[in-house]
Amino acid sequence: MYNIVLVCSAGMSTSLLVTKMEKAAEEQGIKTNIKAVAEADLKNNLENLDVLLLGPQVRYILPKIKELADPKGIPVNVINSVDYGTMNGVKVLDYAISIIEGK
Amino acid sequence: MITQSEIPNHVRKGLLLLQEHRYDVDELIGMTEDILKFSETLEPTLKLIHEEEKIGEDFYSTIEGKIKSYKRKGLDDREISEILNIDIESHFQRYLGEISRYYKKDGLKNIISKEIMDIVDEILLLAKQVLNKEYDERIYLGLSFHLERSIERIKKGERIYNPKLNFIRINYENEFIYAMKIAKIIDSKFNVEIPVDEIGYLAMFFATDFFKDKKEMESYVRIMVIMHGKSTASSMVEVVNSLLGLDFVIGLDMPLSMKPQKMYEVVKEKIVNMNGDKGVILMVDMGSLTNFGSMLAEETGIKIRTVDMVTTSMVLDAGRKSVLGYSMEEILGKERLDKEIYKRNLILVACFTGDGLARKVKEMLVNILGSLDLKIETINIIGSSSLEDRVSKMKEDYNILAIISSMEIDIGGIPFISVMDVFSGKIKGILNRLMVEKRSHNGVWESLKEHLVYLKDELIIEEVNTFIDQVEKKLDLKVSDEVKTGMIMHICFMMDNLKGEKKTKEFANLLEFIDEYSSEFLTVQNEIENIRRHYNVDIGENDIAYILKMFIENSKTVQ
């Protein structure tokens, strides 16, 4: 089971990506728990997490999120803008898993 | 259904008296209702009351009353705000007009407290310096009365609502910023907290457009009515001008005996001799007059658009909007481009004549870029009509990738490439990148379109892109391409959600944020106005704040 959280500023665009990733996971038979969280709500969503991914438009919060996530050993990274722009669920899911496995 | 034709003649004739009894009729059926219900059993709810508005009564009460009554009628907030928008301006003017008719500055001492008069003195003196405008006694009186009421109201904790707030903030930016400043002065002096809606009202006092003088007319879009017949145009214009209360629209008659060439000269002289900086709209009936506009534009270099088959109400509408300071595009309404989505890529090579350097560079480009699917055109910088105009016309048919020139040209968000890059051979790489960028935007649309419920046109991507470019320029900052892609997604979803009337998540510490970045906030609000208007959605302060934050914070991390 991979626990993945996507972060963007108002939760406008990431929720769609979540659906896409869930679909990709289902097709590949991978068990996941993926959530979209707005920046402001992140503090309450840091438990049981394997990876945090940021939308490219909130790249600037990376240092701040790292501060929160590092002590808990959760890796954080920014989603590639082409994958984000095309809402490529398969690729983003691959990316998430590669981070989790490589940590 | 019963239509007019089924009504007996004597009743129909009564309709002609409508004008004389407009007031009674409005009172009976209300300005906004299309359906009137009759019932035998219920008590009639309609009453005829003519209540003269009390002089000096603050307009809050009036507005509040209206909101309540519209709410009761079941209108939603947006509809109400639209109706009030129309209302409030005239009310404001009447308010000021009446006050100054009944009171003079010297007599004010007995009615208005000294603190208020002092602060109004201070405010207007400062306004003169900051906004560089003269304010007459009317404003002095109006502001005194207004402040007395509003401070009292705020102290009592009563709500102030300004449906025109956004309009004011967008169109009277400087006045609004100034109003925010003086609000602070008033806050500390009277120990109150002036709400933002009230700041909007204060800004209206400083926005002299509300009290326009005729001599200021030069900076407006000019409207000229030209028609066949001895007096068709002048009669129409007479009606319009008297309804506007200003001698604003110009009418030119073209008797049937007059040759078009002669008329052309008459029109030309008139146009050359008036200040048409913001453009001229020719409103004509038919025939040769419809061609005058483009010829005149070419000959005079003035921005001219022609509207044909014109009616009095069209002229009135255009006149009203231009008096309010609308731009040409706003008056005419942006025509939707219904052309096919696919546009061929075009590169423009510009030099002074379009014949010298540009032609050489074009030849080189054809050699270098032979394999790429694009068109290369030369264009002269000093033409009869402005480069910007010609380029924006080309944009309708082409996807303009870049403009190449020896001097930096900055128009409408089109990337500029220096001639040096052509000579050095870098050009191919740059263009490839530009084309990929365009395509990746297309990719964005491909994936977005399945998931957007309301937005159906790829145009939004272009519009958002332009918006981002403009904000970057205005705020003098840059965000990276990746961030841009993310922002395009964010804004598209935002627009779609707003269309679906989904609420945007609240922005944390919104007020502090707006306070800290007030002028940047206004810039974003201004720049997004085109998109807002095109899709007719309410873009709220939370939405603006999220977008602005992305600009500000992401620009700090650009390498």
What pLDDT shows up at residue B37?
55
CB atoms B486 and A87 under 8 Å: no
Return the residue in B433, B436, B482 with the most chain A beta carbons within 10 A, the one to mutate for interface testing. B482
CB atoms B550 and A40 under 8 Å: no
CB atoms B497 and A12 under 8 Å: yes
Write out the H or E segment, with its range, that includes residue B126.
Answer: helix B114-131
pLDDT band at B208 (very low <50, low <70, confident <90, very high): low
- Whole-structure pTM value: 0.38
For residue B211, give the nearest of B83, B318, B94 by alpha carbon: B94
As a whole number of angstroms, the distance between CA B318 and CA B268 comes to: 21
Q: Residues B240-254: pLDDT tens digits?
A: 888 777 778 999 999
Residue B122: CB atoms within 10 A of its CB come to 14
CB atoms A84 and B542 under 8 Å: no
Indicate the residue type of B300.
T
For B520-546, give the DSSP string: HHHHHHHHTHHHHHHHT----HHHHHH
Residue with tokens 């219920």: B42
Pairing state between β B375-380 and B398-405: unpaired
Question: Taking CB atoms and an 8 Å cutoff, what residues of chain A touch B451?
Answer: 16, 87
Given CB atoms, is B505 within the 8 Å cutoff of chain A? yes
Strand partners, B224: B250, B282
User: Which residues of chain A have a Cβ shorter than 8 Å from any chain B Cβ?
Assistant: 8-13, 16, 38, 40, 55-61, 78, 80-82, 84-88
CA atoms within 13 A on the CB side of B389: 17
Residue B100 has pLDDT above 90, yes or no: no
Given CB atoms, is B554 within the 8 Å cutoff of chain A? yes
| Most confident of the ranges A1-5, A85-89, B37-41, B400-404 | A1-5
pLDDT band at B49 (very low <50, low <70, confident <90, very high): very low
Residue B492 has pLDDT above 50, yes or no: yes
Cβ-Cβ pairs closer than 8 A, A with B, add up to 88
For B215, the 3-state DSSP assignment is: helix
What pLDDT shows up at residue A58?
85
Question: Taking CB atoms and an 8 Å cutoff, what residues of chain B touch A87?
Answer: 447-448, 451
Judge whether B283 and B314 are in contact, CB under 8 Å: yes
CB atoms B447 and A40 under 8 Å: no
Q: What is the ipTM of this complex?
A: 0.73
- The alpha-carbon gap from B66 to the nearest alpha carbon of chain A, in Å, equals 35
